[in-house]
Amino acid sequence: MIMKVILKVVLSFVLVVALVCAYYLIRRPSLVGRGSMLMEWLRQPSAHPDWMVKAGQRCADAPFLFPTDGYVGFIWDDSFRPGHRHQGIDIFGGGQPGQTPVFAVYDGFLTRLPEWKSSVIIRIPDDPLHPGRQIWTYYTHMADAEGVSFISPDFPPGTQEVFVKAGTFLGFQGNYSGNSLRPVGVHLHFSIVQDDPQGGFLNELDIRNTLDPSSYFKMKLNAHENISDIPVCLPLYGESET
Tell me the C-alpha distance between 114 and 117, whole Å.
Answer: 8
Show the DSSP H helices in 60-181 as ranges.
none
User: Class of the 29-217 domain?
Assistant: mainly beta
Tell me the C-alpha distance between 140 and 177, whole Å.
Answer: 10
Give pLDDT tens digits for 180-222. Answer: 888 889 999 999 999 998 999 999 999 999 999 999 999 999 9
**Lowest mean pLDDT across 6-15, 92-101, 122-131, 141-150:** 6-15
Tell me the C-alpha distance between 231 and 216, whole Å.
Answer: 13
Give pLDDT tens digits for 119-160. Answer: 999 999 999 999 999 999 999 999 999 999 999 999 999 999
Tell me the C-alpha distance between 186 and 65, whole Å.
Answer: 21
Domain boundaries, the chain: 29-217
- Residue pair 89/213 in contact (Cβ under 8 Å)? The answer is yes
- Sign for the pseudo-dihedral over CA of 120, 106, 167, 162: negative
Local structure of 25: helix, strand or coil:
helix
